[in-house]
Structure 1
């Protein structure tokens, strides 16, 4: 399952060199993940929060491939890459919508985190099944 969201580069996204500041890409990637979760039906689902379970980002690897500048329209592409016992890794790519240049590639790993235990826990079975269905894992 691939999700895309577009973001137009605004003046406040730029650094003194007049291109998108590296820290802003973290926000763009996060916007892509939230849109993915919304489309997946988990963005506004409070059931996990009610159980004291949250997704915690534990690793982000970003490769910067090209610059983006004021007025560019960027397409943030997000998909699942790997499903573990306690973790999920998402692959994200930011593409310049006009030039089709790859601007950023990133891998983001989350763990299923228990606020009560203050530790990573195994994915609950119902959540794992929902994710497997979305990413096309067959048994």
Structure 2
């Protein structure tokens, strides 16, 4: 089951057209990823291993507008694991509706903080992530 984060649209999220500014969605998605990683214990786990998630690509599609007062539900899940990268998919919904506001695929690598380079996603690391694979 995907992890859900809720964000209420505030006036400072809006642009001159009175809908959520495109750049704000990146912040919303980031907040939801942090919430997800906290919920599953990855922040502490990877810190202990000296590893960090580093985003290398974000592909976002804007589908519908959100305006002040809307409550957004952001669903987050791992959807793909590769050799040195993995993909998290996120969907932004107007809560309580079937209106998809935006969706994004975020590709990241797992970085060895001391070495400063990406590590292979294998062994216990791959096993940990594989248990969470799902399709949104």
The alignment's TM-score, normalised by the length of structure 1, stands at 0.88
Q: Does 1:21 align with 2:50?
A: no
Runs of 4+ in 1 over 4 A off after TM superposition: none
Task: Give the secondary structure class of the aligned counterpart of 2:42.
Answer: coil
CA deviations on 1:29-52 (whole Å, 9 max, x unpaired) are 111111211222213x1x433443
- Contact between 2:76 and 2:91, CA under 8 Å: does it hold in 1? yes
Aligned to 2:94: 96
The runs of 5 or more residues in structure 1 that have no matched partner are: none
Distance in 2 of aligned mates of 1:72 and 1:51:
39
Distance in 1 of aligned mates of 2:49 and 2:97:
45
Q: Does 1:31 align with 2:31?
A: yes
Pairing 1:1-139 to 2, within 5 Å after superposition: 1-43=1-43, 45=44, 47-123=45-121, 125-135=123-133
Distance in 2 of aligned mates of 1:99 and 1:11:
22
The runs of 5 or more residues in structure 2 that have no matched partner are: none
Aligned length: 134
RMSD: 1.6
Q: Shift of the alpha carbon at 1:84?
A: 1.1
The alignment's TM-score, normalised by the length of structure 2, stands at 0.89
